[in-house]
Structure 1
Amino acid sequence: MTEIILDENDRLDWALKAFRRKVQRSGILQDLRNKRFYVKPSLAKRRKAAAAVRRRLRARGKRR
């Protein structure tokens, strides 16, 4: 569970920003998005392979 501990004089906008940052880093929202619908194993494998290709191309572009 993600939580932010506040002092009495902490600002609300700071707390909200810190909470959002913690949730983003923990990957909770990404996990929810991925599990929203059932994905057949064959399609999951295809998506995973496509993501690997994109990562490889992106890494190759940064090296040039």
Structure 2
Amino acid sequence: MSIEIKMRKNEPIDRALRRMKKKLDRENIIKDVRAKRYYEKPCEKRRRKEKVAAFTAMLRARYAN
């Protein structure tokens, strides 16, 4: 997976970096790299996913009205 950001004419570097970060964030590359930095046991993955699911269910129940 290679991501390419082309500098536009007279574009500041800050703005190009911002575009690159947004693109990386949209494609979840940063998230995947951080997750794969260390090995996560299957039971830990399952526990983390269950925790996220419980949290989203709680939010849905809270704002269902």
Same fold (TM over 0.5): yes
Deviations 1:10-48 (A, max 9, x none): 222211111111111111111011111111112211111
| Contiguous gaps of at least 5 residues in structure 1 | none
- Residue identity opposite 1:53 in structure 2: A
4+ long deviations beyond 3 Å: none
Tell me how many residue pairs correspond in the alignment: 64
Identity across the alignment (%): 31
Structure-to-structure mapping, 1:1-64, within 5 angstroms: 1-64=2-65
Q: Which has the higher helix share?
A: 1
TM-score where L is the length of structure 2: 0.81
Higher relative contact order structure (alpha carbons within 8 Å, sequence separation ≥ 6): 1
Alpha-carbon distance in structure 2 between the residues aligned to 1:7 and 1:40: 44
For the aligned residue pairs, the C-alpha RMSD in angstroms reads 1.4
TM-score where L is the length of structure 1: 0.82
| Contiguous gaps of at least 5 residues in structure 2 | none
Alpha-carbon distance in structure 1 between the residues aligned to 2:8 and 2:32: 30
